[in-house]
Structure 1
Amino acid sequence: MTGEIVYADLNIPSEWPCLRPPQASQHLEGSGCKLCPATWLLHRDKCYWVSGKMKPWNESRDDCSAKHSQLLVIRDGEELEFIKNSTQDSTFVWIGLSLSSLGKTWIWLNGSQLNQTLFPLPVQDNGNSCGAVKGNRIQSDACTTEYEWICQRETVLI
């Protein structure tokens, strides 16, 4: 089958939002639809997956990597509100935030520093602190503590 062209019929329901003309209240970014894998939640331009299991921060980070994603990097208060609603304040969940090796700065997995104005978080002295979220607040805890975790990945645009 190498080098062959394969055609497929797609059975997409006509009520699928991407096939309907946009409503006056909808905001479309470019053309096309944003898709997430099954069991992932779509919000803006990200897909989110909540684990339902408990692991330490490092294992949570590795699990997200195995899913071709990363632990959640929260951009703003609106995204934090979406996460709060998605987890229903059930428990703390690991996010992609950890204290730098020097123990002075909170760093997201994408390399950016935590905006302390948006998310005030005290600096811990033990150097083994990671970020977790519950409700609308971020808290630090020992990275060896077991929590659920949230993975994120970009949407697929079709």
Structure 2
Amino acid sequence: MGLSSRTAVAIHALTLLARWGDKSLNSAEIADSLESNPVLVRRILGSLRDAGLVWSTEGRGGGWSLARDPREITLFDAYTAVEAGPILSRHPHPPSATCEVGRNIQGLLEVEFRDAERAMEERLGRTTIADLRRQVLDRERELGLSR
């Protein structure tokens, strides 16, 4: 079983909002970029709002905007806004205490998983939404597609 796609959707939405700067985007516009459902996008945006990463205005001309400068939003911020619990799943129930592997595996995996999660946190914490925006625009220029 893989990790959820909520983080990828959140990072995509944040990068899209950063790309358009001061222009608010509604959930349908963001969903179009994701080729996704606006209801799913609104759920993700709600979590990002609760984390203080985006804000919204209602009514005509309303929509979603970044609540912070994109240089201040890391990929790890997006991850923690939309994911709950540890990155790597632990045993759903205690393994057999009568088995030598069962007796020891949880403690051994806990160390490995914790180290892996720290490494991911550190790596995602180094990249900001502004970094991704710059990379998107650079790639578009390279392809001759920039607007």
Give the TM-score of the pair, scaled to structure 1: 0.25
Structure with more of its chain in strand, by fraction: 1
Give the TM-score of the pair, scaled to structure 2: 0.26
**Relative contact order: is structure 1 or structure 2 higher (C-alpha 8 Å, sep ≥ 6)?**
1
Structure with more of its chain in helix, by fraction: 2
